Structure 1
Amino acid sequence: MADKFAIITGASTGIGFELATLAAKNGYDILVVANEPLIDAAATDFKQFGTEVTSIEADLSTFDGVDRLLAAANGRRVDLLCANAGHGLGHAFIDQQPADWRFVVDTNITGTIYLIQKVLKEMVARNDGKILVTGSIAGYIPGAFQAVYNGTKAFIDSFTEALRNEIKDSDGVTLTTLMPGPVETEFFARGDMLDTSVGASDNKSDPVDVAQDGWDAVMGGKASIFSGWKTKLQGVLANVTPGSVLAEQHRKMAEPGSADN
C-alpha cells in the first residue's frame, strides 16, 4: 500500500484516464470511477505501475453514487481528488429532453460539488490535500447549441474561484481548476455532437497533453490553468468580447449540421 491515495472520477476514458495514469505512475494508490463498465478495463491498465488500484461503477449525478464512491475508499485519507466526471449535450435547448439536460446539470454541478464538499472538509480539517477540478473554457462562452453544458462549466469555473477564497487560510490545501478547450475524447459522441463543426474537427487537444497540464498545475499548487495557448487566448478574449458575439461564434461551431458547412 502506497502512502499516497487519489480518487479520480470519469477515469474510464479521456482526460480522466490520463490523470489516473499519471497518479499511478507517480506512486499513488488510486480509486477510479465512471458510470460505465469500461472503468474495470481501465483499472487493469493502471495496475501496470505497481500501485493499488480499485475501480467502481457509479452514477456521480446522484448523492447515492457519490456516497458509494467515498465508501469504496474504505476510510483512507484522500491526498488528491481529481473531480473530472462530466457530461455534454448538444442540439437546441428547446429540443432537449428534460431528463437529458438534468443529467448534465446533476453530473457536472450537483454531484461534483457534493463530492468536493465531502473531501475538502476533511482536507481543511487536517490542512493538507490537493483537488483538481475539470472546468472548461466553455464556462467563459455563452454556448449556443450547448447552452446547458456551457452553463454548468460557467458554474464550476466561478464556484472554484470562490471556494479558493473561502479556504485561503488553509495554506496546506490547494484547489486547482483545469480549463481545456475541445479535447479529442468520447465527449462529442456521447453528447450527440459529431455532426457539428467542433465535433468533427481534427484540431482538438490531445487528452494526454491536457491531463499533463492539469497534473503539473495541481502539483505546483496553481489556482487555475488554461490548457494550451489557444485556449488561454480564448479566455483572454472572452473577457472583452460581447456575449452576443461569443454566442454567435459558438453557434457556428456547435449548431447541428455545421460540420457540413
Structure 2
Amino acid sequence: MEKHYTLITGGSMGIGLALAEEFAKNGHDLILVARFTGELLKAKEQLLPYGVEVIIKQRDLFDPQAAFDLYNELVSEGRVVEILVNNAGQGLYGLFEYTDIRRELAIINLNICSMVVLSKFFLKDMLMRGRGRILNLSSIASKSPGPWQSVYHGTKAFVQSFSEALRSEVKDRGIVITALLPGATDTDFFRKAGMEQSRIAQDKDQLADPADVARDGYKALMANADMVVSGFKNKLNVWMSNIMPDSIAADNMKSQQEPADGEV
C-alpha cells in the first residue's frame, strides 16, 4: 500500500514543530525540512512517542534551488506528499533605510520563492491524483502594512493573496488550500528577526502558544476552510485592518512594532 506523507518546512521548531506534533497526534507520517540537522534530530526524537514515521531532510530554503532539489529527491525516493505545509519563514526588524538588503532578498527567497516552487510541483502531483491539501503559513501581518517589518509584511501579503488565488483555481478538483494567519506567537521568530526590543515582543503575556496556533491550522485544513485567523484578539485585529484605511492601519502597526524604549 502506498504511504502518504505530510511535509512540513521549518518543521524543527516553533509553529512548525507544533504543527508536526498536531499531525503526528492524528496519525500522519511526516517529512520535516529545516536548515539544521541537530534541530531536526531533536524534533524527530520528540515525535517518536506518536508512533509515526518521521523523515528528516536538511535543506536551506533561503536558496530556492534547495526547494527544487528537495522535490526531485523525494520523487526519486518514491515519497508521496499528500499534505504540504509551507511553514518556513523569517522576518527582519528595523527601518527599511537601515536594514540589510542581502538579508531581505534572502527572506523573500524563503518566504515566497521556495514556497512557490514547492507549491508548484507538489500541487501538480496532487492534481494528477485528484486529492491533496496545502496549508500555507500566512500571518495577520498579511492584512496590514508593517512599518519596522516592511519586507516581512509584504511577503505575507503575497502568501495570503497567492493562497486565495490557488484555492479558487483548484477548489473543484479535489484539492484543499488553507491559509493559517497567526499573530505574535511565543517562538524564536523575534530573536531571529532581531526584534526582541519591539513593543509587541516585550508584551510576553499577549504571545500565543504555538500549540494553539497549530491546532487551529490543522482543524481548518481538515475542515476544508479557506483560511483561519488564530486567536480572538487576532481576529479582531484583522477585522479592524479590513475596515480602516491602509494608512491608518500602518500607523497603528507602527506603534506596536517600534522599539519599546523609543529609540531608532
* Class of the TM-score when normalised by the shorter of the 2 chains: over 0.9
- Secondary structure of the 2:177 match is strand
In 2, distance between residues paired with 1:2 and 1:45? 26
Which is worse superposed, 143-152 or 247-256? 247-256
What is the TM-score with the length of structure 1 in the denominator? 0.94
Which ranges in structure 1 are unaligned for 5 or more consecutive residues?
none
2:98 aligns with one of 84, 95, 98: 95
Residue equivalent to 2:63: 62
Q: How many residues align?
A: 259
1:200/1:259 contact within 8 Å kept:
no
- Deviations 1:131-167 (CA, angstroms, capped at 9, x unpaired): 1110001011110000000000001111111111111
2:64/2:109 contact within 8 Å kept:
no
1:89/1:101 contact within 8 Å kept:
yes
Distance 1:93 1:44, change over 3 A: same
In 1, distance between residues paired with 2:221 and 2:113? 22
Distance 1:98 1:128, change over 3 A: same
1:69 deviates by: 2.5
1:39 deviates by: 1.7
Residue equivalent to 2:54: 53
In 1, distance between residues paired with 2:72 and 2:117? 14
1:110 aligns with 2:93: no
- Secondary structure of the 2:127 match is helix
Q: Which amino acid aligns with 2:13?
A: T
In 1, distance between residues paired with 2:189 and 2:57? 20
1:48 deviates by: 2.1
In 1, distance between residues paired with 2:71 and 2:171? 25
- Secondary structure of the 1:174 match is strand
Residue equivalent to 2:11: 11
Residue equivalent to 1:31: 31
- Secondary structure of the 1:95 match is coil
| RMSD of aligned alpha carbons | 1.6
2:188 aligns with one of 186, 189, 195: 186
1:257 deviates by: 4.0
1:61/1:107 contact within 8 Å kept:
yes
- Secondary structure of the 1:193 match is coil
| Residue pairs, 1:125-204, within 5 angstroms | 125-170=128-173, 172-202=174-204, 203-204=206-207
1:77 aligns with one of 70, 76, 80: 80
In 2, distance between residues paired with 1:89 and 1:234? 22
Q: Which amino acid aligns with 1:70?
A: Y
1:198/1:259 contact within 8 Å kept:
no
- Deviations 1:156-179 (CA, angstroms, capped at 9, x unpaired): 111111111111221x21000000
Residue equivalent to 2:238: 235
Distance 1:212 1:61, change over 3 A: same
What is the TM-score with the length of structure 2 in the denominator? 0.93
1:231 deviates by: 1.1
Q: Which amino acid aligns with 2:71?
A: L
Residue equivalent to 2:255: 252
1:259 deviates by: 7.6
In 2, distance between residues paired with 1:140 and 1:15? 20
Identity %: 37
1:258 deviates by: 4.5
1:254 deviates by: 1.3
1:22 deviates by: 1.6
